[in-house]
Amino acid sequence: MARDNSTTFDGNTNATTQATALLDSGWLLVAAIEFYIDYALIGVGIVGTAANALVLYALIIYNARETKKRMVNWLIINQNLIDLCCSFAIVICLSIRVSNIYTGALGYILCKIFINENAAVCLLNSSVINLLTITIERYLKIVFPFWSKKNLKSWMIRAAIVFSWIGGILSIAPLAFVTSFVSDGICQIFQLFWDNAEIRVGYGAWNLISFLSSQFP
């Protein structure tokens, strides 16, 4: 008796079609969720920018009034300034991402600096460096008050502030510029295009130890 293969073929086709439709709907759901999350993060970034700007203004006014009575705590002001710039950079990065501007010379620059979150990560690392500096400075002033008063100079504080910005930029910016590019009108983020797996793992371990682990006690 001849076997009817048409029914089997139609059943496989229907199953494949249903699986494809289910997969497509799943990707659409993920894309929709990511879309709304991006806009929610933009709102959080705007609130954070406004709050940091208000705090920075209050710090500057307060220190301007008290500058004759005591030293201005430039590290705290610098920390708030970095947080303000970081919040603003996050808003810019997410706004550019949802606008899908990837083509032309402008798209190339935006890809290198904002779409791959290069600017935001640089400022986050600068914030970590400055927080570590504040921790060391507070420790010295509390545990060794006489020694710190004699040896902790204002030029050291200024040098630490400059280093926090330079260190944060150098921690990620060169790598982001080299490994991010625009291909077929799409910004290819650096994390996906490292040719050397050992360098990728090594940098990830160094970044984890240097910046992420320092944010936890």
- What's the pLDDT tens digit per position in 38-89? 788 888 889 989 999 999 998 888 877 766 556 668 899 999 999 999 999 9
Confirm if 41 and 91 have CB atoms less than 8 A apart. Answer: no
> Could you give the CA distance from residue 210 to residue 202 in angstroms, rounded to a whole number?
12
The mean pLDDT value for 167-190 works out to 80
pLDDT digits (tens, 9 = 90+) for 130-176: 999 999 999 998 999 898 888 888 899 999 999 999 999 998 888 88
Tokens, residue 133? 């500096």
Q: Are strands 186-188 and 181-183 parallel, antiparallel or unpaired?
A: antiparallel
∠ CA 128-180-103 to the nearest 5 degrees?
Answer: 120
Domains and CATH numbers, the chain: 8-215 (1.20.1070.10)
Give the model's pLDDT for residue 42. Answer: 87
In a 3-state reduction of DSSP, which class is residue 187? strand
Give the model's pLDDT for residue 36. Answer: 79
Beta bridge partners of 186: 183
pTM for the structure as a whole: 0.75
